[in-house]
Chains A and B, each alone.
Chain A
Amino acid sequence: MFDSLDALLLARAQFAFTVSFHFLFPAFSIGLASYLMILEGLWLATGKGVYANLFRYWLKIFAVVFAMGVVSGIVMSYQFGTNWSVFSDKAGPVIGPLMAYEVLTAFFLEAGFLGVMLFGINKVGRKLHFTATCAVAVGTFISAFWILSVNSWMQTPTGYEMGANGQFLPGPSWIAIIFNPSFPYRLVHTVLAAYLTTAFAVGGVGAWHLLKDRTNPGARTMFSMAMWMAAIVAPIQIFAGDMHGLNTLEHQPVKVMAMEGHYDSHPDGAPLILFGIPDSANKRVDYAISIPKASSLILKHDLNAPMKGLDRVPDGDKPPVGIVFWAFRVMVGIGFAMLGLGLWSLVARARRKLHDWTWLHRAALVMGPAGFIAVLAGWVVTEVGRQPFTIYGLLRTANSASPLDAPAVAASLLAFVLVYFSVFGMGIWYLLYLMKKPPEAHESTLDGAPIRTAGITPAPAIEGGEG
């Protein structure tokens, strides 16, 4: 019994570790691919060199991010089987086809055109190269579509039938499976999060270089573009997050109870706990600062609406409250900080000092990595919040794992930790090194080599940096 418990905990730790590392890279590359598509499109449309240089600058960073995303993603696609074989056997007929569609419609598209995008500009000409960039960008979005559909089905399973052998089988409609109730909300919220993450990373890099040289045209352009994204997307994201939360309340109310820290039921209006320390042993939130009835107002749009609490849920069906409660506050806090910076940038723009307001640049620099933290925090909220189930309400995590001995999982977890920290640690170091270099007027191609003039198509001339 102890052995199986240990193996289960280790398998969960391994999945959490590998998926958290993995998630950082697509969160960046989804946004970055779209950003590159826009930069190259602007270059084609306007002919301004600054866009070409920024494209080259961020392409080098994209190549490193994408490589790390690919290799950490291959691990995920096999880990379902190696560590969660019972889940794979039971859910395979439903989620397997969706994941196969992800490979067929997204992974091949990205991989097939990535080589041309990275190395082919001198070989295929501008328009075909732009097509390749678009294909990669669209591929990253399609990938998010399918994998979030799978994840959402595990959170809000619909459209299935139970087989005599214990498998979940697809019902007559695949639409009912793919577009399960939480999927549209999760897709919008997650893709917007990827865009915001990228916007703040780009904005942070731009701010860093503006602090050193306010006249750098590349830094000015990237900072301005990033701040537009922040000002426009942050409020949309907060709205989308609210909608997602209401959807969760409808389909996974226990998760919302954990997010809110509601150990008790509130028959006449639940308070909104801003801060506090959840104490699951005594089932209360210590040192709580709360606004009476505000939770009912936000979630039910009625001050006196009754809200059930965790006291109505059997102990065996509860997620761990503390981690969900804290991760949720981290995510929301960062979301509002993002909104604040976006508004600040609008003020700066109105006062014509967007590129000269040192404190704005410092704030943007600090907020550079904020998106990554928010994305991970959000992921923790939704994944820990649906425990103790892998398929919500139907298949328990404890009944999903592979029949592996604890030492086997312990050894693999250790190997993953060592390899990931050293390899991806170095990779992140290289990213920071690339970001530290200012965008130059004649930005080099991927290798740092001079722009080549040989090739099947003559190399397109790159104008100087002034756009």
Chain B
Amino acid sequence: MIDLTVIWAGIIGFAIVAYVVMDGFDLGIGILFPLFKVGKDRDTAMNSIAPVWDGNETWLVLGGGGLLAAFPLAYAIILPALYAPLIAMLLGLVLRGVAFEFRWRDPAHRAIWDHAFTGGSAVATFAQGVALGALLQGISVQGRAYSGGWWEWLSPFSLLTGVALMVGYSLLGACWLNWKTEGGLQRQVVTYAGRLGIALLILIGAVSLATLTLEASYQSRWLSWPGVLATAQVPLATVIVTALFYRSLSRQRDAQPFLWALALFGLCLLGLGISIWPYVIPARVTIWEAAAPYRSQLFMLIGGGILVPVILAYTAWAYWVFRGKVGSEGYH
């Protein structure tokens, strides 16, 4: 019999990748927002994501809902463990989500909602990074429940991953705007993309090295012979992708820098997967221990197998409708 647990781990992983690919750039634009000129530039940046942000965030709901459905035990342990960063993330998403509408409804207070957009995006991103770091560094578990305190997530490592994700999403945001805008705003974000790329590379290196010190299993997974021959390809590919990213940037391509930046994120997530597989809570709970029963997995797999391709198709269509460079008066 095919192991549905492995398939579901793959689907949750796919939802996380899809979320990062899609929501990463619009959170990043929120972080960079105060750097854009008030007026046309900000409106353009906003218009470039207004039609798609809601769909992008739905992948986050699928990640959470899917985890509850496929790995209820992991959902029940991880979420209380990451309580403070997750609540902060949710509140950040509330603030930035309403800002999309409210800044157009209330021009007199647009500055306030622009701050809410930036603040919410920054908090949500930082909190996601912290949550990821906290998961990697390990969670206290006793029986079927989280057993740590409500500050266990806080560590230099989790703060580092928080900062790294902010830089990473900002890079995606800058690259997205390079793709979707023209003129002064485009020139501005190209400069940012160049700097953010270097910063991200340094932070990826720092997080990777720090990760190796967290758990003995991470070290043996990455560094033991002969596995290292395979795992060494990930940092190697990271260097190559970075070079390709800079080449496309200097050749003034529209879409390519964004796609290479996504590839960089893909490699980071691959690295993450290599570190924790087959655990869902590192060194504590495996995917099989956390898995929902076969009937739950099968029932969802039937729906997911049919619906996810359909969703991807109409999401692609929605992006296609709003293709090309964006104007400031645009859809709004």
Contact = CB atoms under 8 A, between A and B. Distances in A.
Contact of A82 (B80, B91, B308, B314): B80
B132 interface: no
Contacts of B97: 67, 70-71, 74
A105 interface: yes
Contact of B68 (A75, A80, A109, A402): A80
A63 B66 contact: no
Nearest to A174: B299
A297 interface: no
Interface string B129-162: 0000000000000001111011000000000000
Contact of A93 (B72, B144, B145, B147): B72
A118 B51 contact: yes
A174 to B, nearest CB: 6
Interface residues of A, number: 80
A253 interface: no
A403 interface: yes
Contacts of B87: 82, 412, 415-416
A390 to B, nearest CB: 14
Contacts of A101: 300, 303
A83 B299 CA distance: 27
A433 B106 CA distance: 10
B64 interface: yes
Contacts of A304: none
A405 interface: yes
The SS class assigned to the B binding surface is helix
A170 B75 contact: no
A72 B51 contact: no
B64 A81 contact: yes
A404 B150 contact: yes
Interface stretch (B27-35, B173-181, B228-236, B289-297): B289-297
A58 B311 CA distance: 27
Nearest to B11: A100
Contacts of B16: none
Given A104-B62, A120-B321, A403-B80, A165 B104 contact: no
A460 interface: no
A109 B61 CA distance: 13
B76 A107 contact: no
Contacts of B51: 115-116, 118-120
Given A120-B321, A405-B150, A82 B101 contact: no
B296 A74 contact: no
B94 A72 contact: yes
Contacts of B224: none
B150 A92 contact: no
B90 interface: yes
Contacts of B72: 88-89, 91-93, 96, 167
Interface in A366-425: 402-405, 407-408, 412, 415-416, 419-420, 423-424
The SS class assigned to the A binding surface is helix
Nearest to A122: B331
B308 A446 contact: no
B163 interface: no
Given A75-B94, A85-B77, A170-B296, A113 B70 contact: no
Interface stretch (B52-60, B197-205, B211-219, B260-268): B52-60
A112 B22 CA distance: 13
Contacts of B122: none
Contacts of A83: 80
B287 interface: no
Contact of A103 (B62, B144, B149): B62
Contacts of A165: 144
A169 interface: yes
A163 interface: yes
Contacts of B244: none
A111 B76 contact: no
Contacts of B95: 419, 423
A81 B150 contact: no
Contacts of B64: 77-78, 81
B80 A103 contact: no
A174 B302 CA distance: 13
Contact of A100 (B62, B93, B116): B62
A97 B90 contact: no
B329 interface: yes
Contacts of B307: 104-105, 108
A426 interface: yes
Contacts of A315: none
A111 B98 contact: no
B314 A100 contact: no
A64 B73 CA distance: 36
Nearest to B151: A408
B283 interface: no
B152 to A, nearest CB: 11
A260 interface: no
A92 B76 CA distance: 9
B70 A96 contact: yes
B189 interface: no
A101 B292 CA distance: 15
What 3 pairs across the A-B complex have the smallest Cβ distances?
A92-B72, A115-B51, A81-B79
8 contacts: A70-B97, A96-B292, A100-B68, A102-B65, A104-B304, A108-B58, A169-B293, A402-B146
Given A403-B80, A447-B331, 8 more contacts: A74-B61, A81-B80, A85-B77, A91-B72, A119-B330, A423-B116, A434-B105, A446-B104
